Amino acid sequence: MTTNTLKLYDEDSYLSDFSATVISCVEKPNSNQEIVYEVILSATAFFPEGGGQASDTGTINDIPVIDVQEKDEIIYHILTSPLAEGEVIKGTINRTRRFDFMQQHTGEHILSGLVYKYFNYDNVGFHLGADTVTVDFSGTFTEEDIRRIEELANEAVFQNISVVAVYPEKEALNSMSYRSKKELSGAVRIVTINGVDTCACCAPHVKSTGEVGLIKITTYQNYKGGTRLEIQCGKRALTDYNKKEKNIQNISVTLSAKIYETDEAVKRLKEEKLSLEAKFTALSAKLLSYKVVSIPSGDEPYALFDFETQDNQLRNYANLVKERRNGIVGIFIPSAKDSSISETDEAIEYRYVLCAKEIDVRQIGAELNKAFQGRGGGSKEMVQGSIKGGRKDIENFLKNYA
Ligand SMILES: [Zn+2]
């Protein structure tokens, strides 16, 4: 039977290089049916995936460690190449990723501890990955609550409080009150931040809260009856700040607005856009009424191509044209994705409308769709749809339709 793996990260979360002996190495297919090697060491600094936190990455004898899992106190390192049993190895964890995870995780404890203290809500979900950290709570918050918690959390950072992890004796543990997500068995590791939080947790933490840096709640939303917070701590928060600052600076320059007045400037711009759109629609309708004056009257089928008008005017167009002609009229406007096209005979996508005063246009609509890979439909008086074809071919189709 294999003995428990000695967890070096338990004692020293800053340890990134270590030596250990290979206890076993087993060849296995992974979920993609690729051959990988499951390695058990006498000791490890690799923190396995667990409790919502992704595993450490790094190398063992320069072989990449692609995953780390734990089962019954034994830690399994998944490698792409084998190691020899009994071999003494050199392990190196990705220190940057580890420290980032420590900043996020201790930051999460500070927030969860304060939420428990002031709101009595439980932390009911936690995910810590390379890109996002989410924390779920069993209750809801106002915007004011969120900013208050955030401020208290950062106060705890400024106070640079020690973060202490210990395995208390059973008796001491029984008399302690601490946060815990599940019923615990075996030795329980308690992580304490004095005055802020006491929580059962196996993960590596920073030594004191000052190392967490800024704690920022970037979003919060209702989630399963409670709230899901997205948070960024330390260097992640700085990276996020930089991205957002760049974004707001660009808006500021583009709109010639001061940084703190950009939201007002964007609102004004949106209002102007809506008012211009309304004017544009009114003018387009007016323009159509001028255009239709030049359409000859007559009874024979008639095709009209218009490369200037927007396809959302098709219905208005049809109603105006119908008043001037008795026969079938087809109006064709390049579809929105081809709307920049100037007059062409090449096959492009058209939005169309077919209409007539006293003729049922559904049949010709169906045949038009069939001839030009189109789709659409409508009533006896008016059929709308889209087709793809050349102008000449469409004109001929209509002219020859009898
Ligand atoms: Zn934890």
pLDDT digits (tens, 9 = 90+) for 109-125: 999 999 999 999 999 99
Average pLDDT over residues 128-149: 97
pLDDT for res 151? 98
- What's the 40 CA to ligand 1 centre distance in angstroms? 24
- What's the 247 CA to ligand 1 centre distance in angstroms? 33
- What's the 199 CA to ligand 1 centre distance in angstroms? 7
Average pLDDT over residues 336-353: 84
Nearest to residue 261, comparing CAs of 251, 273, 270? 251
Strands (E), 194-338: 197-200, 215-223, 226-233, 302-305, 329-334
- What's the 181 CA to ligand 1 centre distance in angstroms? 10
Helix (H, G, I), strand (E, B) or coil at 380: coil
**In the predicted structure, residue 402 carries a pLDDT above the cut 90:** no
- What's the 12 CA to ligand 1 centre distance in angstroms? 16
- What's the 203 CA to ligand 1 centre distance in angstroms? 6
At 1, the pLDDT band (50, 70, 90 cuts) reads low
Give the type of residue at 227. Answer: T
**In the predicted structure, residue 2 carries a pLDDT above the cut 70:** no
- What's the 198 CA to ligand 1 centre distance in angstroms? 10
pLDDT for res 26? 97
- What's the 238 CA to ligand 1 centre distance in angstroms? 23
Burial of 251 (0-12, 13-18, 19+ CB in 10 A): middle
pTM above 0.75, yes or no: yes
- What's the 218 CA to ligand 1 centre distance in angstroms? 20
H-run or E-run covering 64:
strand 63-71
- What's the 91 CA to ligand 1 centre distance in angstroms? 24
**In the predicted structure, residue 96 carries a pLDDT above the cut 70:** yes
Residues 26, 32 contacting (CB under 8 angstroms): no
Please state, for a pLDDT cut of 90, what percent of the chain lies above it.
81
What is Dmax (Cα atoms) for the chain?
A: 101
- What's the 117 CA to ligand 1 centre distance in angstroms? 16
Domain spanning 98-242, CATH class: alpha beta
**In the predicted structure, residue 241 carries a pLDDT above the cut 70:** yes
- What's the 64 CA to ligand 1 centre distance in angstroms? 26
- What's the 69 CA to ligand 1 centre distance in angstroms? 17
- Give 173-194 pLDDT, tens digit per residue: 999 999 997 776 778 999 999 9
- What's the 266 CA to ligand 1 centre distance in angstroms? 41
Helix (H, G, I), strand (E, B) or coil at 69: strand
- What's the 205 CA to ligand 1 centre distance in angstroms? 8
**In the predicted structure, residue 398 carries a pLDDT above the cut 70:** yes
Average pLDDT over residues 148-165: 98
pLDDT for res 336? 74
Burial 134-164 (b: 16+ CB within 10 A, else e): bbbbbeebeeebeeebbebbbebbeeebebe
- What's the 145 CA to ligand 1 centre distance in angstroms? 23
**Antiparallel, parallel or unpaired: β 35-41 and 133-137:** unpaired
Domains in the chain: boundaries: 6-93, 98-242, 292-399
Residues 314, 330 contacting (CB under 8 angstroms): no
pLDDT for res 3? 83
pLDDT for res 342? 78
- What's the 301 CA to ligand 1 centre distance in angstroms? 76
6-93: CATH topology is Elongation Factor Tu (Ef-tu); domain 3 (2.40.30)
pLDDT for res 296? 87
At 275, the pLDDT band (50, 70, 90 cuts) reads very high
Domain spanning 292-399, CATH class: alpha beta
